[in-house]
Amino acid sequence: SYEQILETRKTHLTPNLVAHFKKPLVIHEGHMQWLYDHEGRRYLDMFGGIVTVSVGHCHPKVNQALSEQISKLWHTTNIYMHPKIHEYAERLVAKFPGNLKSVCFVNSGSEANDLAMLMARIHTGNQDILSFRNAYHGMSPYTMGLTAHSTWRFPLAGVNNGLVHVMNPDPYQGIWGGAACRDSPVQTTRSCQCQGGCQAGDAYYNELEETFKYSLPRGKVAAMFAESIQGVGGTVQFPKGYLKRAAALVRANGGLFVADEVQTGFGRTGEHFWGFEGHDYVPDIVTMAKGIGNGFPLAAVVTTPEIAASLGQALHFNTYGGNPMASAVGIAVLDVIEEEQLQRNSREVGTYFLKCLEELQQRFEIVGDVRGKGLMIGVELVEDREKRTPLATPHVLEIWETCKDLGVLFGRGGLHGNVLSFRPPLCVGFEDVELALNTLETAFQQHMS
């Protein structure tokens, strides 16, 4: 029974696992953008298992690829060669520009970022690594330090060694370009993209230069990590041009630039296959997870042969990375994205969703900001539009719960958990977005009444 399931979870699963909602959902089945609970109730999944179900729950083509592989070979470890990993490596690196031609398969986003940190340190001989405040890069001891939300880090010795957090250029809530400087000469648009007049990106860039001067020994750095759009941090989009300039500065000081594409890769942002392509620069290392495997534990680090060679100086090993099942799934996911034109769908449906959300914003004061790209969209709820004060958690939760009760699921992000996070499987259509919008509208109306 439902009660027994809750009891077992409480008794036998570690309490760090926090289920969403007052009455947590028990999900039994999923098909494409739909999830079904233990009573057979259907939910529109606008969160995709935290940005992971990229092509759809139990997508028939991915299922078929996996079951064919399962009946042939599960696992050997990379001590033997198997054709699938080679086929997959070729397919995956073909998606990258420049000299990003070497791939190492791992099992999770944290592991991918761990490996990228190691690569950068070994390759450059430098220790310090920069990441943004509000960033999320993982929960392993190494990446926990890189993740820059105080609530997600344990105060343990070693966790934060050699890590420096820099100001994230958040156009809505940031120190520059946000509410605090709206009336100053540094003008910003509602959700600033720095196209033209806005100088906020400059202010953050100057701060980054200062960090090199004052916080890093001899100004040297091993790497800087950046999400192309901050995901868990609340769908934060950086000013245009900022990441390109930051990458140049990092390289000039001996470091590598790492793009964390765990959320933004595989067509999620619609316009490009990789989020970094929207920032007009090519990283030295790219990490990916989540959408790569549509829910299968698969992740990867892609880099240049030169950087990969540095790691090759020693044995670096993991047991499962890119095993035959994972590789079969990875190939099928790439096939489906291409065959079903899911990147284009992400762009078209996402653009429509964003436009409709902007209309909703006109009618509801609590909608402070609507932002994102493709099917990676954030709706920031505020107490006060002028001051941009985050909407208090109980109110956000009430709206969230109402939507769940009405059959629409999505996530919450940002430091205050007040940014509604929409990252559905890329197969959602216009009518699904309509359902999400109508549901949101009902929840907002209930909240106002």
For ligand PMP, the binding residues (CB under 6 A) are 50, 108-110, 113, 136-138, 227, 231-232, 260, 262-263, 289
Nearest approach in angstroms of CB 292 to ligand PMP is: 10
Q: How far apart are CA 232 and CA 270, in angstroms?
A: 19
Nearer to ligand PMP, 113 or 188 (CB): 113
Nearest approach in angstroms of CB 51 to ligand PMP is: 7
Are the beta carbons of 41 and 47 closer than 8 angstroms? no
Q: How far apart are CA 361 and CA 275, in angstroms?
A: 26
Nearest approach in angstroms of CB 212 to ligand PMP is: 24
Nearer to ligand PMP, 110 or 199 (CB): 110
| Long-range Cβ contact pairs of 276-282 (< 8 A, separation 24 or more) | 276/228, 276/243, 277/97, 278/228, 278/373, 279/228, 279/238, 279/240, 279/241, 279/242, 279/243, 279/244, 280/241, 280/244, 281/243, 281/244, 281/247, 281/248, 281/257, 282/97, 282/98, 282/100
Nearer to ligand PMP, 267 or 361 (CB): 267
Nearest approach in angstroms of CB 135 to ligand PMP is: 8
Nearer to ligand PMP, 118 or 360 (CB): 118
Nearest approach in angstroms of CB 179 to ligand PMP is: 26
Nearer to ligand PMP, 33 or 108 (CB): 108
- Grouping H, G, I as helix, E, B as strand and the rest as coil, residue 205 is helix
Residue 279 DSSP one-character state: G
Nearer to ligand PMP, 225 or 444 (CB): 225
Tokens of 78: 């990379």
Nearest approach in angstroms of CB 123 to ligand PMP is: 21
Nearest approach in angstroms of CB 111 to ligand PMP is: 7
Nearest approach in angstroms of CB 257 to ligand PMP is: 15
Q: How far apart are CA 193 and CA 171, in angstroms?
A: 8
Residue with tokens 């109730």: 41
Nearest approach in angstroms of CB 138 to ligand PMP is: 4
Q: How far apart are CA 272 and CA 180, in angstroms?
A: 33
Q: How far apart are CA 105 and CA 233, in angstroms?
A: 26
Q: State the CB neighbour count (10 A cutoff) for residue 150.
A: 9
Q: How far apart are CA 285 and CA 102, in angstroms?
A: 10
At a CB cut-off of 8 Å and minimum separation 6, what does 86 contact? none
Q: What are phi and psi of 341, to 5 degrees?
A: 50, 50
Nearer to ligand PMP, 138 or 295 (CB): 138
Nearer to ligand PMP, 49 or 255 (CB): 49
Nearer to ligand PMP, 55 or 226 (CB): 226
Nearest approach in angstroms of CB 260 to ligand PMP is: 5
Nearer to ligand PMP, 227 or 284 (CB): 227
Write the Ramachandran bin of 122: left for phi over 0, alpha for psi from -120 to 50, otherwise beta. Answer: alpha
Nearest approach in angstroms of CB 109 to ligand PMP is: 2
Burial string for 200-234 (b: 16+ CB within 10 Å, else e) reads bbbbbbeebeebbeeebeebebbbbbbbbbbbbbb
DSSP-derived pairing of the beta strands 285-288 and 256-260: parallel
Nearer to ligand PMP, 123 or 290 (CB): 290
Nearer to ligand PMP, 263 or 323 (CB): 263
- Grouping H, G, I as helix, E, B as strand and the rest as coil, residue 415 is coil
- Radius of gyration of the CA atoms of the chain, in A: 22
Nearest approach in angstroms of CB 107 to ligand PMP is: 8
Are the beta carbons of 200 and 233 closer than 8 angstroms? no
Q: Shortest Cβ contact with ligand PMP: which residue?
A: 109
Nearest to 293 by CA among 252, 321, 253: 321
Tokens of 9: 């979870």
